Structure 1
Amino acid sequence: MAYLECFECDSRFDLDEIIYTCPDCGSLLEVKYDFDEIRGKTREEVLDRSEEGVWRYKEFMPCNKEVSVAEGNTPLYETDQLADWVGVKSLYIKNEGSNPTGSFKDRGMTAGVSKAIELGLKNVGCASTGNTSAALSIFAAKADINSVVLLPAGKVAMGKVAQAIMHGAKVISIKDNFDKALELIQEVSERENVYLLNSINPVRLEGQKTIGYEIIEQLNWNVPDSIFLPVGNAGNISAIFKGLREWRNLGLIDKIPKMVGIQSEGSKPFVDAIKNEKETIEQEMNPETLATAIRIGKPVNGPKALEAARETNGTAESVSDEEIVEAQKKLARLEGIGVEPASASSVAGLKKLVEKGKIGKEEEIVCVTTGHLLKDPEEVADVCKKPIEVEPNLDKIIDLIND
């Protein structure tokens, strides 16, 4: 049986109540399970072997599969050349850009939109820096329900806007930042019967926690020393920690990896809270970075993210846009993995912490890359050399090849 529980005051609520924060104290909610039916079962017995991806873990999900586009089941690459560049012995890349819409958000949306269908709802909405809107629109289209997204005008990569528009979402750009867009869509959800599917909705995070489950399975049930993640709204680091804690508490694994969150220097409220040992995250009013997917000044899942880092003896680090671009190029040119800038922050942060002596060179590390390179082709054009244009002359072409 699943239910909602307040992250702060432990009040409980029915899972079918359409609430996103605790009515008693205003804090975040989590989906909790009693697990009576699976407690004591083996690893083989708790997984649905007829499924691949997110719904393989249906015993750990808060709803039935109502809508799916074959999300999850993304590759885990062992990256020897990248490991040498970073300075560690063992490095894996969990590439979430291989999801159908090109980002990890598909995992959350299969859960969130499935729950909307279970509740009989016909309208879903979100604020977005891009990837959430893309995933929401595609799952809503598949489910034949309406979607509305609010975007910060001029701050979303066109690859992501194109997905939302093509799949029929009502796309509204506001002349402000993401944090304001989130505030507005929350008000819309209260007034217009729109089911909110930002990561403040705890059901959505249940889909995202399956990233951690897949990592453990793909490593043959060995637990890595650390998992590095980009942090924007702090949903992934919170969700993966929650999922792996569930598995540890059931005896399916014996420990949880250190959870390490990476942000851009231009948008680092989570990092500041960790480094300054603050109990809460202070909003950054004007976040700015080329890594648009993590350009968020007020991480809605901040309290959960702080718990994830601190309970696992993890940490947080910020990296410059230049370090992000360097890591992005190394992922592409050393391992053939093309990712958008925010994704590369996890690798850039790992390299920085290794150089600082904060991460041991013998540790086994997994970096999560969250979105595909083609999500932000404008950034690629800005940071890479342009194609060389020449007349159709064979000798000239050969000269250029050998130059």
Structure 2
Amino acid sequence: MTAPTLQRCDACGHELPERDARTSCPACGGLLSLVHAPPAARGAALRALFDERLADAAPAHVADAAGAARASGVWRFRELIAPGVSDAEIVSQPEGNTPLFHRPSVAAWAGVDALLLKHDGFNPTGSFKDRGMTVALTQARRAGARAVACASTGNTSAALAAYASLAGLPGLVLVPGAQQVALGKLAQTLGYGARTLLVRGDFDDCLRLVREGAERLGVYLVNSINPYRIEGQKSVALEILQQLRWDAPDWIVLPAGNLGNTSAVGAALRDAVRLGLIDRAPRVASVQAAGANPFALGFREGFASPRRVKAETVATAIKIGDPASWDRAASVIREFGGVVTEADDAAILEAKAAIDAAGIGCEPASAASVAGVRRLVREGVIRPGERVAAILTGHVLKDPGVLLDYHRAGRDAPLVNAPVEIDATLDGLARAIDAVAS
């Protein structure tokens, strides 16, 4: 391989140059993966390089591309993500460098002693999608794209809109209509300037349409089928490993919708083991909503064939019935001793209430990871003494409507915190304080 990177079809092995703008194989229609030249450093030397960059990271207010690259928790790992990209080409906010929380109350709720919450809702647009979008929009400019497009349940569209604006490219997003997108995410997409099309259908209809349109109309597709998106999303797992000083947890648990993030975490772990960054890989658990569970159904059948369902769940970010990255994600589950489970909406909302009450909060789909941990502990799959890193994919304000509905007065559900109306008197205030303090 003469170039630092090439694109290779997962299905037939057909290869494309690094800057080719196609996001599926022209020979067979399969998904493309990036293949990078091995980095010069390995093992302790590569760990030291990444740790040195972390220590030297520029402050987030830097104005030039080189400074943004230094401050980014994605581009810190560029040898494993896009080694041929120069600082001047990078489109970055910056993103990444998100916190890894330990909250005893959430760990107790889930039933595991050492539960770590990797909160990617702290990214610039409030979700993990920024990790992939910085690389995808960087590639869009390198490939000479005239516009970028995506289908979305909300988070991808918000990230596309922000990064397209930063890159100076027109952005087009297709989202399900009929109030299927949380208002917080739709507001971001409109505010950041992307042209937003409300499609009379669900996410799967949006993705089918935008894939057909991108190919015919010559716009660059930045959904998670885009191999550069996957490379950027690898950084969440690499960051977890670095934050744990390269001592891998026993499990990484994450929500699963279109399965791009499951694929990305697996790709990162392959790199980390192959290059000697860690001496053992964690197991991977993907958690779906019970009303959008094709991957969980497939897991129970040994992934004999891809499954499709009509998705219906309050966790709109994973409300996907026909995942595009099925084969890649199935390979990750097989390779890393993984499991796929599901949580119903009641369990997801209770997990969210526990996370919110711990002072950090998350959107509903994020809470699926913690709900999944609780189920797997109760089933004996995860042992209470194991160290678990659960990924929270989105910010609490992504879907405030669901939060407010959960805590409405009169609702009978665990951890409800309904507002209390009082008279405008000191006695009324005193009674409220006594009720809280008693």
Q: TM-score, normalised to structure 1's length? A: 0.96
1:24-75 CA distance string (max 9 Å, x none): 2222111111215335643113564442411111112223452111200000
**Which residue type is aligned with residue 24 of structure 1?**
A
Shift, 1:244, TM fit: 1.7
Give, in whole Å, the separation in 2 of the partners of 1:291 and 1:134: 17
Partner of residue 60, structure 1: 80
Q: Structure 1 counterpart of 2:315, which letter?
A: A
- Note if 1:371 corresponds to 2:394: yes
Corresponding letter in the other structure for 1:401: I
Q: Provide the secondary structure at the position in 1 that maps to 2:209.
A: helix
1:322 to 339, 346, 353: 346
Name which of 169, 175, 179 aligns with 1:151. Answer: 175
> Cα deviations across residues 209-260 of structure 1 (Å, max 9, x unaligned)?
0000000000011001110000011111110110121121111212221111
Q: Write the distance in 2 (CA, Å) between the matches of 1:382 and 1:71.
A: 31
Which residue of 1 is the match for residue 419 of structure 2? 387
Q: Corresponding residue for 1:11? A: 14
CA deviations on 1:277-325 (whole Å, 9 max, x unpaired) are 12332111x2100000000001111111101111111101011100001
The residue number in structure 1 matching 2:429 is 397
The answer to whether the Cα contact below 8 Å between 1:280 and 1:303 also exists between their aligned partners in 2 is no
Relative to structure 1, the CA distance from residue 19 to residue 320 in structure 2 (aligned partners, 3 Å threshold; closer, same or farther) is same
Query: In 2, are the aligned partners of 1:227 and 1:368 still within 8 Å (CA)?
Result: yes
- Aligned residue pairs total 401
Partner of 2:47: 43
Amino acid at match of 2:220: Y
One-letter identity of the residue aligned with 2:219: V
User: What one-letter code is carried by the residue in structure 2 that aligns with 1:329?
Assistant: A
**Residue 228 of structure 1 is aligned with which of 248, 253, 277?**
253
- Tell me how far apart the structure 2 counterparts of residues 19 and 227 of structure 1 sit (CA, whole Å): 31
Q: 5+ residue gaps in structure 1?
A: none
Deviation string 1:150-170 (CA, Å, 9 cap, x unpaired) is: 000021000000000001100
Q: In the alignment, is the contact (CA less than 8 A) between 1:238 and 1:305 conserved in 2?
A: yes
Alignment of 1:69-148 (within 5 A): 69-148=93-172
Tell whether the 8 Å contact from 1:354 to 1:361 is kept in structure 2 after alignment: yes
The 5 Å alignment of 1:105-254 reads: 105-153=129-177, 154-254=179-279
- Secondary structure of the structure 2 residue equivalent to 1:366: strand
Asked if structure 2 preserves the Cα contact closer than 8 Å seen for 1:58 and 1:64, the reply is no
Amino acid at match of 2:229: R
Q: Output the CA distance in 1 between the equivalents of 2:47 and 2:304.
A: 36
For residue 42 of structure 1, give the secondary structure of its aligned residue in structure 2. Answer: helix
- 8 Å Cα contact 1:95-1:370 kept in structure 2: yes
CA distance in 2, matches of 1:208, 1:202: 10
Match of 2:382 in 1: 359
The whole-number CA distance in structure 2 between the counterparts of 1:291 and 1:85 is 20
Deviation at residue 120 of structure 1 after TM alignment: 2.0
1:274 aligns with one of 299, 315, 325: 299
Contact 2:303–2:330 under 8 Å retained in 1: no
> What secondary structure, in the 3-state scheme, does the structure 2 residue paired with 1:352 have?
helix
* 1:294-373 superposed matches below 5 A: 294-333=318-357, 335-373=358-396
Contact persistence 1:123–1:145 (CA under 8 A): yes
SS in 1 for 2:389: strand
1:31 match: 34
Secondary structure class of the residue paired with 2:324:
coil
Q: Secondary structure at the match of 2:391?
A: strand
Check conservation: 2:147, 2:169, Cα contact below 8 A: yes
Q: Residue 5 of structure 2 aligns with which residue? A: 2
Task: Percent identity, please.
Answer: 41
Per-residue CA deviations over 1:106-164 (Å, capped at 9, x if unaligned) read 00110000111112223111000000000000011111210000000021000000000
SS at match of 1:288: coil
Q: Distance in 1 between matches of 2:199 and 2:39?
A: 46
Q: Report the TM-score, using the length of structure 2 for normalisation.
A: 0.89
